[in-house]
Amino acid sequence: MKAIMNSVTKPRAQVSCQEIRPSTVVLRPSGCLDSVTSPAFSKSLEQALELATDTVVVDLLSVNAVKRDGVKCLLAGMKRAVALGKNLSIEFLDVATQTVLESAQNNFAL
């Protein structure tokens, strides 16, 4: 007679992988935000907005000029942040850029 062995299955260990994401991401572009640099900055801003759980800070202290394409990029980032329910803080921007962004924000009711 053959002995019949009952196979006993051991419970498998539960492994929990939790994605750790920062609550705040800070971007520090430098130079000029223009038609040449805005596409790369726009991509970085989009990635930061996706990564951060709460706030993205754009520190413009090292930016010496924000041209039309740079303003458009910042506006798009503001709209995206609102859509994602996140905060976008733009720091150390020049008065002219600040005026344009505030005007656009009021016109588009961000």
Q: Assess whether pLDDT exceeds 50 at residue 1.
A: no
Q: Assess whether pLDDT exceeds 70 at residue 110.
A: no
| Cβ-defined contacts of 42-51 (< 8 Å, 24+) | 42/73, 42/76, 42/77, 45/73, 45/77, 45/80, 46/77, 46/80, 49/77, 49/80, 49/81, 49/84, 49/86, 49/88, 50/84, 51/21, 51/22, 51/25
Report which of 102, 21, 103, 29 is spatially closest to residue 62, judged by C-alpha positions. Answer: 29
| Between 6 and 52, residue with greater pLDDT | 52
Q: Assess whether pLDDT exceeds 80 at residue 7.
A: no
pLDDT digits (tens, 9 = 90+) for 31-78: 999 999 999 999 999 999 999 999 999 999 999 999 999 999 999 999
Mean pLDDT for the chain overall: 86
